[in-house]
Amino acid sequence: MSSETPAAGAAAHVRATLDGVFATVARVREASARHLGAARAQGRPPVRADLTALRPLLHDHLGPLVSGLGFIAAPGLLADAAWHMEWWQTGPAGDPVRLLRDLDPESSALYDYTGWEWFAGPRDGAEKTVCGPYVDYLCSDEYVLTLAMPVRVAGEFAGVAAADVFSRTFENEVVPALREIPAPAFVVNAPGRVMASNTASWPPGTVYRGGGAGLAARPCGDLSLSLVTAG
């Protein structure tokens, strides 16, 4: 690390932080595919109860970094619910709490989740989607990042495995590395939303539309994020 420039070090740290979360998402993805596949192997379509087996894994991985975790079913996947989430969040007392929402868009227009990038990205083939930060009025009522991967059963898209990280948690994690850079620097997601920054000129949530005098972007590994630095 010592031979790297501070910018390269910060980019690597951003990537390592998110890769750690993706490792958790990958475990949820594998377990989801296994439980859904087991139902198929019994010659029946999967039902909600097949997904309750995920709970010990989900509870174990909620913590200081991951504030929400679970599996979101593709509409029509389950025989007993057109729309379903096996989604757990850290509750006010620190214990895991299940998100219970009326997800049927017929009765609750708010909660059609197929339009969100964390669902559409994996559905449309992206292996790793970093969505946000965005105001998550659907699940947590917080400003969050959602990291998502597709779940496939026998090659077919079955839903999404995902984890939420509060924007403030991500910021606390990466800002020290950004502050090592002796110039304005910030991390932006693929469409250009600022995720964390060492300068008040580009606070989280603002949009970087490319260009800008003396600003240069470098990728953060294979994730579609960039570290933008001046000078």
Partner 1 sequence: MDSARLVAFAPVDNTARVHAVVRRLGDAIALGLLADGEQLPSETELAGHLGVSTVTLREALMALRQQGLIETRRGRGGGSFVRAPARPFDLDERLRPFTAEELRDLGDHYAAIAGTAARLAARRSLPGDVARLRRSLAQLTGPPDARRARLDGRLHLEIAGASQSVRLTREEIRLQADIGPLLWAVDALPAHRGRAGTEHTAIVEAIAGGEDGRARDVAESHIAHAVEHLIERRLAL
| Nearer residue to partner 1 within complex by CB, 53 or 97 | 97
13: which strand partners?
Answer: none
Is residue 193 within the footprint of partner 1 (CB under 8 A)? yes
Tell me which residues in 30-89 interact with partner 1 (CB under 8 A): none
Segment lying near partner 1 (by CB under 8 A), choices 39-47, 61-69, 78-86, 128-136: 128-136
Q: Could you give the CA distance from residue 51 to residue 145 in angstroms, rounded to a whole number?
A: 24
C-beta of 158: minimal distance to partner 1 in Å? Answer: 24
Per CB under 8 A, does 172 bind partner 1?
no
Amino acid at 223: L
Amino acid at 5: T
Q: Smallest gap, in angstroms, from Cβ of residue 96 to partner 1?
A: 15
Alpha-carbon dihedral sign for residues 198, 199, 200, 205: negative
Phi, psi of 32 (to 5 degrees): -65, -45
> Quick one: which of 47, 55, 205, 224 contacts partner 1 (CB under 8 A)?
205
Among 64, 76, 191, 210, binds partner 1 (CB under 8 A): 191
Angle between helical axes of 167-179 and 6-41 (0-180°, round to 10): 150
